[in-house]
Amino acid sequence: MKKLYLTSPDRECSIPDFINIADMPVCISTNEYINQNLDSLSGDIPLIVSADIQTGGKGRDGRKWVPVGAGGMYISYLLNVNNNENLGLLSLAAGTAVAEAVTGISGLRVQLKWPNDIELSGLKAGGVLIENKLFSNSMLSVIGIGLNVNVDRQQFCKSISNTATSLSINSGKKISIDELMLRISEYLLYFIGIMENGLYENILKKYLFYLKHKQGDEISFHHSGEIVNGEFKKINDMGALVLKLKDGEEKAFFSGEIHTIV
């Protein structure tokens, strides 16, 4: 198995300075590949499975990750997150890792839509799907990241053509997927180390820098098949979205999808 060597300067945790990498030309879903081969792959942790093309990707909340063909980044990490009590924050850490890497490499202004949609100028360029599983007494996390890197507008099918963008569209240049993968891996493992040390507020602070929602924003939120309207209050220290509802109650949501901001 190939190894990707990471160079995070202030690494002070048990996280190794390399990650195993399995790359394949085509895959149905890199998350599903890991899910179905957990027995054999668990010995290779920390691991990234990457594909040049993904044909049946999964999105959050049972949605599909619509394939865009070549130029997309499709990766899934298999990591041991046993020492992390706060798995809600892992989702924010993963989005922040992508935001930091994209900003550093492309100079683009990245925003995160809660929990971890990667947006450029209000359009979606990427997303994160995390699946946690208990495997022989360890908590393993499959962290799938899809990012439209060198993707032209014509590659988007009709269902996403008005809502999607790519790094190359917004920056006007081609960007190295290998370099992005390296930087995202460095940030992600670094953040996981920070969480392992219990320094949750450091992650939250970085996350809030990229978050597009500001206190007082009116938010329309889809949760368990219902639409909830409310005012954005904060992201709490468990990574949940806290809204002030019409009746004045403040409620924390751990999952759901923000659809429109009115």
**Residue 155 touches ligand BTN, criterion: CB under 6 A:** no
Q: Residues 86 to 125: which contact ligand BTN by CB under 6 A?
A: 117
Build a one-symbol-per-residue string for 65-84: x at contacts with ligand BTN by CB under 6 A, - elsewhere. x--------xxx--------
Nearest distance, CB of residue 209 and ligand BTN, angstroms: 20
Nearest distance, CB of residue 198 and ligand BTN, angstroms: 28
- Residue nearest ligand BTN by beta-carbon distance: 127
Sheet containing 241-245, strands listed edge to edge, beginning at the edge strand earlier in sequence: 250-253, 241-245, 226-235, 218-223, 257-260
Nearest distance, CB of residue 143 and ligand BTN, angstroms: 9
Nearest distance, CB of residue 62 and ligand BTN, angstroms: 9
Nearest distance, CB of residue 190 and ligand BTN, angstroms: 21
Nearest residue to 30 (alpha-carbon basis) of 147, 111, 136: 147
**Residue 146 touches ligand BTN, criterion: CB under 6 A:** yes
- The answer, yes or no, to whether the previous bond of 25 is cis (omega within 30 of 0) is no
> For ligand BTN, which stretch binds (CB under 6 A), given 40-48, 56-64, 100-108, 216-224?
56-64
Q: Is 200 exposed, middle or buried (0-12, 13-18, 19+ CB in 10 A)?
A: buried
What distances in angstroms separate CA 148 from CA 49, 106, 246, one per listed residue?
Answer: 17, 13, 37
**Residue 207 touches ligand BTN, criterion: CB under 6 A:** no
Q: How many residues bind ligand BTN (CB under 6 A)?
A: 21
**Residue 31 touches ligand BTN, criterion: CB under 6 A:** yes
Q: Can you point out the beta strands (E) in the chain? A: 2-5, 18-27, 47-54, 57-58, 64-65, 72-80, 110-113, 117-120, 123-135, 138-148, 218-223, 226-235, 241-245, 250-253, 257-260
Give the tokens for residue 136.
Answer: 């022989």
Among 46, 71, 115, 144, binds ligand BTN (CB under 6 A): 144
Residues that bind ligand BTN (CB under 6 A): 29-32, 54, 57-60, 63, 65, 74-76, 117, 127-129, 144-146
